Structure 1
Amino acid sequence: MSDTGNNSAAEAGIAQVSVIGLGYIGLPTAAVFASSGLQVLGVDVSQHVVETVNAGGVHIEEGDLDTLVERCVSSGKLRAAMRPEASDAFIIAVPTPVGHDAAHAPDVSYVEAAGRSIAGVLKKGDLVILESTSPVGTTAMLARLLAELRTDLSFPHQVGESADINLAYCPERIIPGQMLRELVENDRIIGGMTPACTRRASALYCSFVKGTCHPADDKTAEMVKLTENAFRDVNIAFANELSMICDDLGIDVWGVINFANRHPRVSILNPGPGVGGHCIAVDPWFIVDSAPARARLIRTSREVNDSKPHYVIGKVDAALAGKAPAKIACLGLSYKPDVDDFRESPSLDIARALNARFPGRVVWCDPFIEALPKSIADECPKLTGSAAEAIEGADVVIMLVGHKAFRDVVRPDGVAVIDTVGYWR
């Protein structure tokens, strides 16, 4: 990208952008904005992250992100800090988790904290964009919060089109391993609180987005993001439930899916050990929380996918048949193949549960083992990046994630093998 890419942003009066949160979404977004010619400040509460970025480095593995960040920092277009500064636009890309209790209530406290952090530096004409996947109504909540903190400024819910501050919700649609490409090529939903908010936010994203920027309102955009991930969760739940049914009946689910998908209007997804990541495993609960009496299918799908790790652990118990194992090998810990992302990973949950049940007898194996948070890695004394080392002498081998690094690993003979992803079929 070149500096010519920021013409639309300049026309909207935007020369400097602040990205609040430099995680898996924020850092790539900041880098892409900087590469389009805008001046970008990345803000994060972690001193380590800020120092790493200012040194031209990255704290996450993501394709060519390291090269892009280094180039943007060297050119002076990107820098990082621990506190917001005056800018023309603020993009909030912070976590929005759910509780791990039965209610699974959304936690928007990080969004609120981000709003409080930028309130003091807002000025008339600024644009605030929420990118974090959020429950419907979060953008409006952010507007009310900012209005309480800055009574000298007007906001869209107060005066509509003539507001001093524009607000919009613009969710990302990217996956690990393809982030930089998809940030540029994918369509964006631009959900402004007013048409004027939508126009300004569209102008900003058009500085680098080659896909279409579709105008919407904030609540519609919030629901679109949740709907996309809930749809995928429901379809994965079908595959996971089918896999358990077939297993109980002694039928090869992979063969069933292969034959069923030959129907011209059938496209069943592949089952696995559950559903992970910070999107599909979380976002459907936002819909359930908003409409608990209506979201019956969405709730059930979440429950099916959350139950799959327990089913896999039950398979391990059955394979051992009450015997004390010498060694259990868990192959793959990340939430999907070929990424170093362990957030909400069902594979990691399975490995941790087995380690607690059979202390000292479980080996965790993943090609990205070095990226596993230390607090979690310390739970298991036996960690390795070598599948061959993990399998040697094992009583039970569990294939949890089909990493490419396992491609040459031969299915072991003479031991119990639980292949949750059909890797050795």
Structure 2
Amino acid sequence: MAQKICVVGLGYIGLPTAVMFANHGVRVHGMDINEKAVNMIQNKQLHIEENGLQEKLEQAIDDKLLTVSTSPEKADVFIIAVPSPIREDKTANLEYVRKATESIVPFVEKGNLVILESTVPPKTVENIMMPELIKTGLEIGTELFVSHSPERVIPGKVFEELVSNDRIVGGINEESSRMTTELYRTFVKGTIHETDATTAELVKVMENTYRDVNIAFANELAKIADKIGVNIWEAIRLANFHPRVNIHMPGPGVGGHCIAVDPWFLVELNPELAKIIHLSRETNDGMPQYTADMAASILQAKQIKSPKLTVLGLAFKGNIDDMRESPSLDVLRHLEEKTLDVTAYDPHIKEIQLKNQTASVEEAYGHADALLILTDHNVFKEMDPNEIAGMVRTKIVIDTKNCISRDKWEAAGFEVYTLGDSKNR
């Protein structure tokens, strides 16, 4: 087992990974260029939300097994877990990966292992990392070992899935794979599958693209169901009883740092061949506009003078605080283009980041003419419609996640509208 690990990038993946190794007795140094995040971690404060992270972070620091700063340190293993976003033109921005690799070069020594955890386009290890690591003067594959082992965890269940999920390890050679497998065996209980680096890169992107294409299919079905008066949620539920069918659920769009991003890596790689992938991305990217149009048309049909619309949920999925690539942001933009009076509320996002965002429950629900649910947080699923009824001006709720009880809300006097079910429109 490695005596010391240096984790570069202390975000939604890097920090839990660093803490996990520290909690298993490994000395870890974490670095991030975000000084505010580093200062918070040093004071045992979290800059991200993740179940169990607070307790595990405190233990790691109290045990003196985790240190953090804004620069790397010498170690046996370097794990790079930095963002790999897309630019406005939908091409991969790999500067974070390149700069992170560049930053560790002065600290790398003979016999070290460098692991890229970030989800990246195929050939990133070969084309982006290798040119930087060669500058160490070490022979790659015999004196310096390199691999790609992408995370496969879901926000909110990171620690559970770090342990239980199978893991892909792709080394530049067999020794790199072996060393990486041995390292993750520190806490991974799932099967570790070894392959080469480029295959590992492709596998992770494939996994997220499969889900994106499936969601695009569900969103197309939702639009069709709207036209023919079928409840798509009921139809999908019944279709999924087939032993070889697993249709995902529709929604107001696809967000997050993976599913909304990674398919573009394949489109960029070969646009002529990635036609279904490209169309799926366009379908899912079009759902925020579809959602905004639906909400606006419902309000228009009610002929409410100067209606106030409250958007519930800014995070890209339920019970987390992550707004990266969240479709809610695009829905808000399209609603603003329609000059609607919009207020946004998300109990998981403590910091006010948008001009029309509120942290006040009273301000969110008070005098609202319609509630538009975009994120299926538990707190929204468990709302008491009778309590809400006394706060709003008009009893309308638009549910794009099919996450509330229609019967309960209708019993409280609300008109309930659901994405993919036009029966009540």
Counterpart of 1:368 in structure 2 is 348
Corresponding residue for 1:155? 140
Matched, 1:50 2:38: yes
1:136 aligns with 2:117: no
Q: Which residue of 2 aligns with 1:339?
A: 320
Q: Please tell me whether residue 246 in structure 1 is matched to residue 231 in structure 2.
A: no
- Tell me the amino acid that sits aligned with residue 285 of structure 2: D
Of residues 288, 291, 299 in structure 1, which corresponds to 2:267?
A: 288
**SS of 1:288 mapped into structure 2:** helix
AA partner of residue 345 (structure 2): C
Q: CA deviation at 1:354?
A: 2.1
CA positional deviation for 1:416: 4.4
SS of the counterpart of 1:91? strand
State the AA in 2 paired with 1:46. Answer: N
Residue 408 of structure 1 aligns to which amino acid in structure 2? Answer: M
Counterparts of 1:68 and 1:278, CA distance in 2:
24
Listed as ranges, the gaps of 5+ residues in structure 2 are 407-425
Q: CA deviation at 1:389?
A: 5.0
Q: For residue 55 of structure 2, what is the amino acid of its counterpart?
A: T
Tell me, yes or no, if the aligned pair for 2:102 and 2:133 is still in contact at 8 Å. Answer: no
Quote the residue 2:402 is aligned against.
Answer: 422
* Residue aligning to 2:413: none
Residue aligning to 1:59: 47
Matches of 1:80 and 1:335 in 2, distance apart?
Answer: 28
Instruction: Note the alpha carbon deviations across 1:182-228, whole angstroms, 9 max, x for none.
Output: 11111111100000111111111111111111111001100110011
Task: Report deviation, 1:266.
Answer: 2.6
Instruction: Provide the rounded CA distance (Å) in 2 between the counterparts of 1:52 and 1:369.
Output: 17
1:116 aligns with 2:102: yes
- Length-normalised TM-score, structure 1: 0.89
Deviation at 1:264, TM superposition (A): 3.5
* Structure 1 range deviating more: 216-225 or 394-403: 394-403
Retained in 1: the 8 A contact 2:134–2:140?
A: no
2:367 aligned with 1:393: yes
**Amino acid of the structure 2 residue aligned with 1:154:** E
In structure 2, C-alpha distance between the alignment counterparts of 1:180 and 1:51, rounded to whole Å = 23
Deviations 1:29-71 (A, max 9, x none): 0000111111100000011111222222321111111111111
Question: Residue deviations 1:112-133, cap 9 Å, x none?
Answer: 0001100111111111000000
- 1:357 to partner: Cα distance: 4.0
Aligned to 2:300: 321
Report 1:13-412 matches (<5 A): 14-101=2-89, 104-150=90-136, 152-156=137-141, 163-321=142-300, 325-355=306-336, 357-358=338-339, 361-371=341-351, 374=352, 376-377=353-354, 379-380=355-356, 382-386=357-361, 389-406=363-380, 407-410=382-385
1: CA distance between counterparts of 2:179 and 2:360? Answer: 47
**Hey, what's the Cα distance between the residues in 2 that align with 1:147 and 1:364?**
45
What is residue 5 of structure 1 aligned with on the other side? none
AA aligned to 2:364 is: A
Which amino acid in 2 is paired with 1:248? K
Cα distance, 1:385 vs. partner? 5.0
What is the aligned-residue RMSD (CA, Å)?
1.9
Tell me if the contact between 1:366 and 1:385 (Cα under 8 Å) persists in the aligned partners: no
TM-score, normalised relative to structure 2: 0.89
Aligned length in residues: 397
Identity over aligned pairs, percent: 42
Q: Deviations over 1:137-164 (max 9, x none)?
A: 01112443224522x22113xxxxxx21
Q: Is the 8 A contact 1:191 1:198 kept in 2?
A: yes
Distance between the aligned counterparts of 1:115 and 1:148, measured in 2?
A: 11
